[in-house]
């Protein structure tokens, strides 16, 4: 813990005003720092940064000239999201239809719409320049995804690719600029079959058991065999999310299985997005520690499946911290 006075000295700053009543500045201690007033925890120091609705993250997407776009913009503003929407007059706004069964499991049908028309020229360099972590998904043209990942790496950011939705025309070239790859089990199954670097390994046991490589084959693999398959993708970090089975983290010289939290599942829609967003936040929170970030992401995903819906079910930092404290005490 640090006092406000100690922080001011460390930053070569000065305290211009403080309460005259105790506790004084030299007695005020804090254990964390937050730039987001919506998720500040007790005992944290809030730092207000100059900027329009600064909240530490930005979102880039595309919309069409339709009613859906008129709903997306107010939603982003209400959530305090720094969103940059590019208008694509010849495309409809992307949409998804989600069905959820009685066990909370989902099936999703996606119309990519305007996001597929997003081009490299649509990406403002000023939004990428200060980023510590840049996350891309598979809803945009792969040339655009590759451009963003390449630019982000050149800027010194950590690049994360969530290849959802996994499309038949997936371009393995985007993996060259990816530092962390986060597919779910079905995306991973398709991905390794579309990557030439995995072809030889898939022709050998145990990967060719029963013929084609399927999610059933994936589930039957030992940790060592799964780690070997992850390494053939030639991405520094591969994290395969496995639903109720947790996730598998593969780095060049080490792997780790992380169990899923035992929670009451209401709706799994958006759980993958929650994991990816939680992982990106965890990378910053835990100073690029991959395993700590993955544990944090697992908690975010667990909280999201306990509520119905996608965006409305995403937890904030305070809720995640409370959830983890309760788990630590068990």
Span 95-99, average pLDDT? 81
For residue 82, the cross-strand partners are: 58
CA–CA gap between residue 310 and residue 304 (Å, rounded): 8
CA–CA gap between residue 254 and residue 239 (Å, rounded): 12
CA–CA gap between residue 321 and residue 323 (Å, rounded): 5
* Of 101 and 144, more confident: 144
Going from the C-alpha of 259 to that of each of 236, 242, 262, 263, 295, the distances in angstroms are 22, 9, 9, 12, 9
* Of 236 and 84, more confident: 236
What does the block give as tokens for 155?
């800027």
Instruction: Say whether both 148 and 295 belong to one domain.
Output: yes
How many residues does this entry show for the chain?
A: 330
pLDDT of residue 34: 64
Q: Is 276 inside a domain boundary? A: yes
Measure CA 83 to chain center: 16
Instruction: Say whether both 226 and 312 belong to one domain.
Output: yes
Instruction: Say whether both 127 and 259 belong to one domain.
Output: yes
Q: Is 107 inside a domain boundary? A: no
User: Would you call 273 a catalytic residue per the annotation?
Assistant: yes
Name the residue range of residue 146's domain: 121-328
Q: Of 12, 171, 267, 273, which residue is the catalytic one?
A: 273
What does the block give as tokens for 24?
């004084």
pTM comes to 0.82
Q: Is 16 inside a domain boundary? A: yes
pLDDT higher than 80, residue 286:
yes
pLDDT of residue 83: 86
CA–CA gap between residue 242 and residue 219 (Å, rounded): 9
| DSSP structural state of residue 264 | -
Say which residues have a Cβ less than 8 Å from residue 260's Cβ, sequence separation at least 6: 242, 243, 244, 245, 246, 247, 298, 301, 302
Instruction: Say whether both 144 and 21 belong to one domain.
Output: no
Q: Is 106 inside a domain boundary? A: no
Domains in the chain, number: 2
> Residue-wise over 101-123: b if at least 16 C-beta within 10 A, else e?
eeebebeeebebbbbbbbeeebb
Instruction: Say whether both 7 and 138 belong to one domain.
Output: no
Instruction: Say whether both 160 and 272 belong to one domain.
Output: yes
Measure CA 312 to chain center: 16
Q: Is 324 inside a domain boundary? A: yes
pLDDT higher than 60, residue 23:
no
CB atoms within 10 A of CB 130: 10
Instruction: Say whether both 257 and 140 belong to one domain.
Output: yes
Longest dimension (CA), the chain: 76
Instruction: Say whether both 149 and 294 belong to one domain.
Output: yes
The domain boundary residue, chosen from 46, 64, 81 = 46
CB atoms within 10 A of CB 276: 23
| Domain of residue 182, CATH code | 3.40.1190.20
Long-range interactions of 193-202: CB distance < 8 A, separation 24+: 194/170, 195/232, 195/233, 196/172, 197/172, 197/232, 197/233, 197/234, 198/229, 198/232, 198/233, 201/228, 201/229, 201/232, 202/229
Instruction: Say whether both 153 and 260 belong to one domain.
Output: yes
Instruction: Say whether both 38 and 129 belong to one domain.
Output: no
Q: Is 316 inside a domain boundary? A: yes
Instruction: Say whether both 6 and 144 belong to one domain.
Output: no
Q: Give one word for 233, left, alpha or beta, with left for phi > 0 and alpha for psi -120 to 50.
A: alpha
Q: Is 321 inside a domain boundary? A: yes
pLDDT, tens digit, 9 for 90 and up, residues 169-202: 999 999 999 999 999 999 999 999 999 999 999 9
pLDDT higher than 80, residue 49:
no
**Least confident range of 126-130, 163-167, 219-223:** 126-130
Instruction: Say whether both 219 and 132 belong to one domain.
Output: yes
Q: Is 28 inside a domain boundary? A: yes
Residue showing tokens 């079910």: 313
């Amino acid at each position: 813990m640090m006092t406000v006075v100690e922080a001011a000295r460390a930053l070569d700053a000065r305290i211009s005003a403080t309460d005259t009543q105790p506790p004084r500045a030299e007695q005020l201690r804090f254990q964390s720092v937050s730039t987001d007033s919506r998720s500040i925890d007790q005992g944290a120091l809030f730092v207000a940064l100059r900027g329009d609705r600064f909240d530490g993250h930005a979102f880039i997407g595309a919309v069409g000239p339709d009613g859906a776009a008129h709903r997306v913009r107010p939603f982003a503003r209400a959530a305090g999201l720094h969103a940059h929407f590019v208008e694509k007059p010849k495309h409809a706004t992307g949409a998804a239809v989600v069905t959820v069964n009685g066990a909370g499991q989902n099936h999703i049908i996606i119309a990519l719409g305007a996001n597929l028309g997003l081009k490299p020229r649509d990406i403002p360099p000023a939004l990428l320049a200060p980023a510590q972590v840049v996350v891309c998904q598979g809803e945009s043209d792969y040339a655009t995804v590759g451009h963003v990942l390449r630019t982000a790496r050149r800027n010194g950011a950590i690049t994360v690719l969530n290849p959802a939705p996994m499309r038949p025309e997936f371009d393995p070239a985007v993996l060259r600029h990816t530092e962390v790859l986060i597919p779910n089990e079905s995306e991973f199954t398709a991905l390794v079959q579309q990557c030439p670097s995995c072809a030889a390994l898939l022709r050998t046991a145990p990967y060719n058991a029963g013929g084609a490589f399927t999610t059933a084959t994936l589930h039957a693999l030992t940790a060592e065999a799964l780690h070997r398959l992850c390494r053939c993708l030639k991405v520094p970090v591969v994290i395969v999310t496995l639903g109720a089975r947790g996730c598998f983290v593969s780095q060049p010289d080490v792997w780790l299985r992380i169990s899923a939290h035992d929670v009451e599942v209401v709706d799994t829609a958006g759980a993958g997005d929650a994991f990816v967003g939680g992982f990106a936040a965890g990378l910053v929170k835990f100073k690029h520690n991959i395993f700590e970030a993955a544990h944090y992401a697992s908690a975010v995903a667990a909280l999201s499946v306990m509520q119905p819906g996608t965006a409305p079910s995403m937890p904030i930092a305070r809720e995640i911290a409370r959830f983890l404290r309760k788990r630590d005490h068990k």
